[in-house]
Amino acid sequence: MDAPAPAPRLAPGDPIIRVRDLVVGFDERVILDGLSLDVKAGEILGFVGGSGTGKSVLTRTILGLVQKRSGSIEVFGQDLDKASDAERRAIEKRWGVMFQHGALFSSLTVAQNIQVPMREYLDLSPTLMDELAALKIEMVGLKPDAASKAPSELSGGMIKRAALARALALDPEIVFLDEPTSGLDPIGAAEFDDLIRTLQRTLGLTVFMVTHDLDSLASACDRIAALADKKVVAVGTMDEMVECPNAWVQSYFKGERALARMKG
Amino acid sequence: MTQTLPSPGFDITRNGEVAIIALSGEWTLDHGRRLEEVARQLPEQLGDARRAELDIGGVGRLDTLGAHVIDRLSHDLGSDGVRVEVRSASPLHRTLIDAVKRRGLQVAPQRKSRFVDLLSDIGRTIVNFGHDLVRGVSFIGEIVVAIGRALFRSSRFRWASLVNQLELIAFRGAPIIILITFLVGCIVAQQGIVQLQRFGATAFVVDLVGIITLRELSILLCAIMIAGRSGSAFTAEIGSMKMREEIDALRVMGLNPVDVLVVPRILALIIAMPILSFLASMAGLFGAGLVAWLYGGIAPDTFLARLQGVITAKHFAAGLIKAPFMALVIGAIACIEGMNVQGSAESLGRQVTASVVKAIFMVIVVDGLFAMFFAAIRF
Ligand SMILES: Nc1ncnc2c1ncn2[C@@H]1O[C@H](COP(=O)(O)OP(=O)(O)OP(=O)(O)O)[C@@H](O)[C@H]1O
Ligand SMILES: [Mg+2]
């Protein structure tokens, strides 16, 4: 009934991530200018945009890896600028991140990678930690023998799955996925979408997913946000995106129109 | 988060054959230790019940760990011959438990005995040493061939890379090498004076310092510094290129990594080493002369005159001849270790360490061989 953790300061219906008037830039170049976005609790939000428009930059800014120039970011109803170190740590424990290139620690095995956040935050016996790592490995669809492999011994798809397993190590409430299906074959990508859907349902996750993959958007995402001209120009379901007048959104979803119609 | 959440617990009531186990509290990661305790105590308190009903209606939050512990509990009880049923789970809890259950229980892999591990480690080390030696020799051969190729087909030689490496090795390395040999020259001269004074043979300090600096000190210090400065850099550069498949990228473009990466570096070392060794000798003699003058009372012109008398061209040559060989050894070891880097950051660190340690060791071995050789031919 109340299985996903009720966030202390989050009133029901409030967005779990709220970004307002965000400005981010490097040197003279402004990448994001006045961007606002809400992510609702329990949804899978697909985030699209052309290559190099700043999708990864937005993700990294929300995560606090890139400095913003102005604007505000609230996660779990808490302004990240005003959070103390302890509060930040508490928030970091409640989100999981899968980086665009996996970012697995190269000197650790897959199982050890998954156990890194567990060691940091939890008090568990080694046996239980091994079991939990094995469980996560199986949940993301890796074979059990992957546990003892080094990241350099994994294929591209396996790296994605291992990175997802690590992102899920602490049963987070939000997971950020940066292009989870890029570089996977269509069947593998579809499986990955199903996996994210299933995990979202069983674990009650909120998923923020950056993707270029129209199939992912159509099959896995509840809502879609489109980034163009340094802002979020459209947010909505697949059908609403197809209706959106913005030129970039039009050209992106045009090919998908037939498919969306068929579904509708 | 506030830590007032109720910790997990259980309560057993007997109903004839059936034990009804009511679970309560938060079955989440935060209570990991407590959950393990519960899972350990629960079967002991079950007595002789042949059937058990796990009532999880009283469980607050449940996550994958909690679901896993519940699953393991029913599995363990099942293998003790107790029939277990999970009752009154909310739909959400039910999906989670089912998601965890579908997967077979994982058994931790068994360790082999330490003694066997030790023996196999020793064996592996010896075999690796043999492989290293063979690979080293064949790599040096490959380098010599590549250098030959570069010299005869100089149009395709990478001059820019060579000059760049020369700058890094010789130009930027010179100050520290000069400083170190200067200081060591001072120290040797000072020690020599202290010892020789007792025999009234202070003047012989010039012989001592002159010969030892030219024949051994300058080249050894130089080689050790270069192994630490440039050898480690070679290994790290080539190793990180290996890690990110850049070496493979060169290969598939039809470029030979030995030609592109190794030859310019080793040639630069071979050119730089005699120069640095010469500079090191001069700095060492200068330091020795300074100490002899200020501390030993040997005037500079006396020092130089005696030096001229003692030092013949062969002492000078004996040091310089060694330089290119040392360069080849350091460069080859550094490049081999770089090529041996596997995918991980840790392996890069290990290989860089190995490169420096092996290079310094081999430099001293080579120096010893030269000493024996020179002694045999009375050079
Ligand atoms: N650390 C940085 N310093 C300077 N510029 C950066 C930095 N990180 C990103 N950028 C620039 O910001 C822009 C947006 O980059 P970002 O990585 O967010 O693109 P993206 O939308 O994720 O693209 P892709 O779909 O290809 O991953 C790019 O033009 C990039 O050059
Ligand atoms: Mg990106």
According to the model, what pLDDT value does residue A131 have?
87
The alpha carbon of B371 is separated from its chain's Cα centroid by a whole number of angstroms, namely: 31
CATH of the domain at B21: 3.30.750.24
Residues B15 and B66 placed together within one structural domain of the fold: yes
Residue B62 falls inside a structural domain = yes
Reply yes or no on whether the pLDDT at B332 is more than 70.
Answer: yes
- Nearest CB to B343; choose among A122, A152, A198: A152
Ligand nearest to the CA of A58: 1
Say whether residue A243 is in contact with chain B using an 8 A CB cutoff: no
Residues B95 and B155 placed together within one structural domain of the fold: no
What is the residue range of B319's domain?
A: 139-376
User: CB under 8 Å to A135, separation ≥6 — which residues?
Assistant: B64, B68, B100, B103, B106
Residue of chain B whose alpha carbon sits nearest to that of A2: B61
Residue of chain A whose alpha carbon sits nearest to that of B33: A124
Query: Which of A121, A130, A131 to mutate against chain B (most B CBs within 10 Å)?
Result: A131
Say whether residue A131 is in contact with chain B using an 8 A CB cutoff: yes
Q: Which residue has the higher pLDDT, B365 or A87?
A: B365
Residues B180 and B313 placed together within one structural domain of the fold: yes
Query: Which of A78, A123, A130, A195 to mutate against chain B (most B CBs within 10 Å)?
Result: A123
Distance of CA A212 from the midpoint of ligand 1 (Å):
15
Reply yes or no on whether the pLDDT at B278 is more than 90.
Answer: yes
Q: Give the whole-angstrom CA distance, residue B268 versus residue B262.
A: 10
According to the model, what pLDDT value does residue B334 have?
95
Is A131's CB within 8 Å of B62's CB? no
The count of structural domains within chain B is 2
Using alpha carbons, list the distances in angstroms from residue A132 to A129, B66, B111, B219.
5, 10, 19, 57
Report the nearest-CA residue for atom 28 of ligand 1. A52
- Nearest CB to B344; choose among A127, A148, A152: A152
| B258-277 residues touching A, CB cutoff 8 A | none
Q: Which residue has the higher pLDDT, A183 or A112?
A: A112
CB pairs under 8 A between A and B: 95
Last residue of a domain, one of B81, B103, B125: B103
Least confident of A8-12, A68-72, A228-232, B305-309: A8-12
Reply yes or no on whether the pLDDT at A66 is more than 80.
Answer: yes
Report the nearest-CA residue for atom 26 of ligand 1. A51
Beta bridge partners of B15: B18
Residues B74 and B151 placed together within one structural domain of the fold: no
Percent of chain B residues topping a pLDDT of 70: 96
The helix/strand count (H/E) of chain A reads as 9, 10
Report the nearest-CA residue for atom 24 of ligand 1. A51
Q: Give the whole-angstrom CA distance, residue B86 versus residue B94.
A: 9
Residue B134 falls inside a structural domain = no
Report the nearest-CA residue for atom 5 of ligand 1. A26
Q: Give the whole-angstrom CA distance, residue B236 versus residue B258.
A: 16
Percent of chain A residues topping a pLDDT of 90: 14
Report the nearest-CA residue for atom 29 of ligand 1. A52
Q: Give the whole-angstrom CA distance, residue A173 versus residue B97.
A: 18
CA distance to partner chain A, nearest, from residue B62 (Å) = 6
Residue B169 falls inside a structural domain = yes
Kind and range of the H or E run holding B300: helix B300-310
Residues B177 and B296 placed together within one structural domain of the fold: yes
| A192-221 residues touching B, CB cutoff 8 A | 198, 201-204
Distance of CA A25 from the midpoint of ligand 1 (Å):
10
According to the model, what pLDDT value does residue B112 have?
67
Which atom of ligand 1 is least distant from the CA of A54? 18
Q: Give the whole-angstrom CA distance, residue B357 versus residue A57.
A: 42
- Nearest CB to B92; choose among A132, A148, A204: A204
B320-331 pLDDT, tens per residue? 999 999 999 999
Say whether residue B73 is in contact with chain A using an 8 A CB cutoff: no
| Cα separation of the two ends of chain B | 79
What structural domains does chain A harbor? 15-263 (3.40.50.300)
Reply yes or no on whether the pLDDT at A11 is more than 70.
Answer: no
Say whether residue A33 is in contact with chain B using an 8 A CB cutoff: no
According to the model, what pLDDT value does residue B1 have?
43
Last residue of a domain, one of B103, B123, B157: B103
Reply yes or no on whether the pLDDT at B2 is more than 60.
Answer: no
Type of residue at B218:
S
In this structure, are residues B285 and B298 in contact, taking their beta carbons and an 8 Å threshold? no
According to the model, what pLDDT value does residue B105 have?
54
Least confident of A5-14, A125-134, A215-224: A5-14
Query: Which of B61, B75, B100 to mutate against chain A (most A CBs within 10 Å)?
Result: B61
Residues B163 and B297 placed together within one structural domain of the fold: yes
The helix/strand count (H/E) of chain B reads as 15, 5
Q: Which residue has the higher pLDDT, A252 or B242?
A: B242
Residues B226 and B98 placed together within one structural domain of the fold: no
Among A27, A55, A252, which is best to mutate for testing ligand 1, by the most ligand atoms less than 8 A from CB? A55
Give the angle B135-B138-B140 at the CA atoms, nearest 5°: 105
Residue B109 falls inside a structural domain = no
Beta bridge partners of A86: none
Is A125's CB within 8 Å of B33's CB? yes
Which position has the token pair 């003692």? Answer: B310
Is A3's CB within 8 Å of B62's CB? yes
CA distance to partner chain B, nearest, from residue A108 (Å) = 8
Among A57, A67, A230, which is best to mutate for testing ligand 1, by the most ligand atoms less than 8 A from CB? A57
Residues B84 and B166 placed together within one structural domain of the fold: no
CA distance to partner chain A, nearest, from residue B245 (Å) = 11
A161-177 pLDDT, tens per residue? 899 898 888 888 899 99
Mean pLDDT, range A238-252, rounded to an integer: 82
Residues B211 and B331 placed together within one structural domain of the fold: yes
In this structure, are residues B264 and B163 in contact, taking their beta carbons and an 8 Å threshold? no
Query: Which of B71, B344, B346 to mutate against chain A (most A CBs within 10 Å)?
Result: B344
According to the model, what pLDDT value does residue B224 have?
95
Residues of B in contact with A107 (CB under 8 A): 344-347
Residues B157 and B71 placed together within one structural domain of the fold: no
Residue B300 falls inside a structural domain = yes
Reply yes or no on whether the pLDDT at A16 is more than 50.
Answer: yes
DSSP string, B169-228: IIITTHHHHHHHHHHHHHHHHHHHHHHHHTTT-GGGHHHHHHHHIIIIIHHHHHHHHHII
**Among A77, A75, A72, residue whose Cα is nearest residue A11:** A77
Least confident of A22-36, B13-27, B340-354: B13-27
Three-state SS for B75? Answer: helix
Say whether residue B99 is in contact with chain A using an 8 A CB cutoff: yes
Q: Give the whole-angstrom CA distance, residue A202 versus residue A195.
A: 10
- Sorting pLDDT into bands at 50, 70 and 90, what band is B110? low
3-state SS string for B237-264: HHHHHHHCCHHHHHHHCCCCHHHHHHHH
- Nearest CB to A171; choose among B64, B92, B99: B64
CA distance to partner chain A, nearest, from residue B237 (Å) = 17
Of the spans A179-188, A253-262, B61-70, B271-280, which averages the highest pLDDT? B271-280
Using alpha carbons, list the distances in angstroms from residue A214 to A186, B59, B110.
11, 40, 45
Q: Give the whole-angstrom CA distance, residue A251 versus residue B103.
A: 43
User: CB under 8 Å to B137, separation ≥6 — which residues?
Assistant: none
Residue B133 falls inside a structural domain = no
Residues B173 and B95 placed together within one structural domain of the fold: no
According to the model, what pLDDT value does residue B4 have?
57
Name the token pair of B95.
């999906």
Cα-based torsion angle of the residue sequence A27, A85, A61, A192 in order, rounded to the nearest 10 degrees: 150
Mean pLDDT, range A131-160, rounded to an integer: 87
Three-state SS for A96? Answer: strand
Task: State the average pLDDT for chain B.
Answer: 87
Report the nearest-CA residue for atom 31 of ligand 1. A52
Residues B321 and B173 placed together within one structural domain of the fold: yes
Q: Within 6 Å (CB) of ligand 1, which residues are found? A: A 26, 31, 49, 51-57, 100
In this structure, are residues A233 and A222 in contact, taking their beta carbons and an 8 Å threshold? no
DSSP string, B319-354: HHHHHHHHHHHHHHHHHHHHHT--SSHHHHHHHHHH
Is B92's CB within 8 Å of A203's CB? no
